[in-house]
Structure 1
Amino acid sequence: MTKAESARGRAPRSTTARRLAPGLLVAAAGTAVAFGLNELVPAISALTVAVVLGVLVASFVPPAAQDGLRWATKKFLRLGVVLLGFQLGLGEVFRLGAGTVLAVVVTVLVSFFGTILAGRLVGVSRGMALLVGTGFSICGASAIAAMDSVTESDREEVATAVTLVTLYGSAAIALVPLAGRALGLGPQRFGEWAGLSVHEVAQVVAAASPAGAAAVATAVVVKLTRVVLLAPMVAGVSIVRRRRHGATAGKRPPLVPLFVLGFLATMAVRSSGVVPAPVLSATSVVTTLLFAAALFGLGSGVRIGALLRTGRRGLALGAVSTVLVALVAYGTLTLTGGA
């Protein structure tokens, strides 16, 4: 290859980097602000701050930054899902006991499909119901982001779903401890119920804290066990979409998205025990950074007028899904006996 040919081969990459740089810088700034606000108010997730901040500054983002923000939204979401697998090893799941694991599976499946059905009844779009069902039944904003990667939903729907999971998850921080005391749940059972009922990991920690450290530890493991179901859920939706697209278009989504396989691979590596604890801590931070940058980019493409149009119907769906998750979780734990 001549020098001229080599230069021509490198030029597109250089041009692409220059085209993406403004958006990536804006995403980095938004992520930094989101983390700063999270440090000031730890109860508010950095992911929540990121998407809300993106919505607020959407009108001020220059056109030159749009390509980079779109790139960050797509690529960082998928990489974040891959690294999410490092947060849970299969050994921790097995230590929960068959009853609790069964309760996790039943709760996730019933609340997921129940939310989709409720979405039809309250009149929200199919895509919106799917995102809310995913976020509320599995792991909040991270799950919504992962599902969006295979459904390519409207940005307004994704932002609304993240807002709803934040709103109702925050309410659960106060309501779940009160309900736990009213039901007379001990620390172990309360931790299981909180881990099954509350949406985001940070919200789970806050909700379980009044019952003590043992309850928090149990709640986090149960919560992360729900995360394991993210891979088969996203893969299942991808397969369904692939079949439907096969009948109407030449291009179909992949049978199982590569980032889902990556998630399973990192979970297997974590389960092997070869990854040092400092590396696991670092990957947890990097995962949150990637999701925050992606959600900021997502929010920057939202128009508030379109977001508000889902208003009361979205709020109704969020309320139904929250109650459904809590009731199914309590019922299944009671029937299976938990751990």
Structure 2
Amino acid sequence: MNKTKYIHQKGLFAGMCFTFLFAIAGYSLSFVPGFDRLGPLASAILLAIIFRQIFGYPELFRKGITFSSKYLLRFAIILYGLKLNIDVILQEGVDLLVKGLVIIVLAISLTLIFAKLFKANTNISLLLGIGTGVCGAAAIAATAPIIKSKDEDTAISVGIIALVGTIFSIIYALILPFLPISNDQYGIWSGLSLHELAHVALAAEPAGEEALAIALLAKLGRVFLLVPLCFILILWVKNRKNVDNGNRSQVTFPWFLIGFIGMSLFGSYVLGRHIPMSQNLMDGISLITTFILTSAMVGLGLNVSLKDVKEKALRPLLAMLITSVIVSVLMFWIAGI
């Protein structure tokens, strides 16, 4: 092995370890009261952003950090497919699937409309609309490479979606005793309107196991729709004309989506049916998936410069907040019918 290759591999490994350390720190911070509402992803990104502002970007680890933010991110999305039980959705959640489709179209459209009114950053607004409509950080992470989002914009979007989703889920849990709907209806409302799986679980758990089950089913229907949404985005980017030279923009096919679909099919029709899997093992895989995704988010967070955040983030945040309120109110009415 020549010296140049050795140095490259050493830098790659060291950079990956660097993101792993931040991921561990993010997990640790997520157990602290207050931060436990944000979760490990947002906590790790916050630590990475603070590190960048104080110490600058760690150039020594750039190769490994870039590897984490690109390739580990895709690997985490592939593993995330195991969370999606296609069989259950198609058998029991077709009605919720249709409602989920309405939510996704509504969330993306409204966010972009408000973003245009507020003259907000279009890229961040699109990511926030996708995160609001589909499944939060995971949807943002899956679609960011397709629309060629900058790492900084992706990290800002993930941070915003985690914060807003957490606030909404806490509000849901607090007002639950005063709502004029049944626990099952509350579960449907939570699953159809909240941003991430974790937010849905946080909000629906106080309503009981049945409410939590139907809430997660409603949410997983929206996760299922991430796949067709990604293909629609691929076509949109591919056919979007370059303003400067009139040529069509090129887009690399996100092959990790095939892995996501494959893992979804494997988890839905093989695991549990032909290959026995204990719940502890499934929980372990879920933990590993979240850890890998958290490590990838560290790489994104290290690319955030706070000098640009105020200008870039506040207006998209406002557009997303208004959209989230509209979606929540509309889904509350639908769930109560």
TM-score > 0.5 by shorter chain: yes
Where do residues 300-339 of structure 1 align in structure 2 (5 Å cutoff)?
Answer: 300-333=302-335
Q: Does the residue aligned with 1:309 lie in a helix, a strand or coil?
A: helix
CA distance in 2, matches of 1:328, 1:230: 21
1:7-51 C-alpha deviation (Å, 9 max, x unpaired): 57xx77544312312311210110110111223443331111111
CA distance in 2, matches of 1:248, 1:285: 46
Unaligned runs of 5+ in 2: none
Distance 1:286 1:127, change over 3 A: same
Verify the 8 A CA contact 1:80 1:287 in the aligned structure 2: yes
Amino acid at match of 1:76: L
CA distance in 1, matches of 2:19, 2:39: 17
Q: Does 1:261 align with 2:261?
A: no
Q: CA deviation at 1:77?
A: 1.2
Of 264-273 and 96-105, more deviation after overlay is shown by: 96-105
Verify the 8 A CA contact 1:191 1:218 in the aligned structure 2: yes
Q: Does the residue aligned with 1:257 lie in a helix, a strand or coil?
A: coil
CA distance in 2, matches of 1:70, 1:98: 39
Distance 1:39 1:273, change over 3 A: farther
**Count of aligned pairs:** 326
Verify the 8 A CA contact 2:93 2:221 in the aligned structure 1: no
Distance 1:114 1:96, change over 3 A: farther
Q: Does 1:252 align with 2:254?
A: no
> Which residue is equivalent to 1:122?
118
Amino acid at match of 2:264: M
Distance 1:168 1:66, change over 3 A: same
Q: CA deviation at 1:270?
A: 0.9
Q: Does 1:157 align with 2:153?
A: yes
CA distance in 2, matches of 1:245, 1:21: 39
Q: Does 1:54 align with 2:51?
A: no
CA distance in 2, matches of 1:312, 1:119: 11
Verify the 8 A CA contact 2:78 2:257 in the aligned structure 1: yes
Q: Does 1:102 align with 2:94?
A: no
Of 302-311 and 240-249, more deviation after overlay is shown by: 240-249
Verify the 8 A CA contact 2:156 2:304 in the aligned structure 1: no
TM-score by length of 1: 0.88
1:142-188 C-alpha deviation (Å, 9 max, x unpaired): 11111112122233322221222122112112322355554411111
1:212-266 C-alpha deviation (Å, 9 max, x unpaired): 2221222122212211111211221122112236885587213x42111111111
CA distance in 1, matches of 2:21, 2:138: 20
1:70-104 C-alpha deviation (Å, 9 max, x unpaired): 12101111111111110021122134343222212
CA distance in 2, matches of 1:224, 1:90: 9
Q: Percent identity of the aligned residues?
A: 25
Verify the 8 A CA contact 1:150 1:234 in the aligned structure 2: yes
CA distance in 1, matches of 2:306, 2:119: 20
Distance 1:162 1:97, change over 3 A: closer
Q: Does the residue aligned with 1:310 lie in a helix, a strand or coil?
A: helix
Q: Does the residue aligned with 1:233 lie in a helix, a strand or coil?
A: helix
Amino acid at match of 2:159: T
Distance 1:240 1:97, change over 3 A: closer
> Which residue is equivalent to 1:171?
167
CA distance in 2, matches of 1:189, 1:162: 28
Q: Does 1:18 align with 2:17?
A: no
Q: Does the residue aligned with 2:30 lie in a helix, a strand or coil?
A: helix
CA distance in 2, matches of 1:95, 1:192: 17
Q: 1:187 aligns with which of 183, 189, 193?
A: 183
Q: Does the residue aligned with 2:38 lie in a helix, a strand or coil?
A: coil
> Which residue is equivalent to 1:31?
23
> Which residue is equivalent to 1:142?
138
> Which residue is equivalent to 1:3?
none
Where do residues 225-240 of structure 1 align in structure 2 (5 Å cutoff)?
Answer: 225-240=221-236
CA distance in 2, matches of 1:117, 1:279: 44
Unaligned runs of 5+ in 1: 1-6
The CA RMSD measured in Å over matched residues stands at 2.3
> Which residue is equivalent to 2:283?
281
1:302-332 C-alpha deviation (Å, 9 max, x unpaired): 1111112235313311211211321332344
Q: Does the residue aligned with 1:184 lie in a helix, a strand or coil?
A: coil
Verify the 8 A CA contact 2:96 2:221 in the aligned structure 1: no
Distance 1:159 1:325, change over 3 A: same
Amino acid at match of 2:318: A
CA distance in 2, matches of 1:101, 1:315: 27
CA distance in 1, matches of 2:294, 2:236: 29
1:113-166 C-alpha deviation (Å, 9 max, x unpaired): 222222212211221111011111111111111111212223332222122212
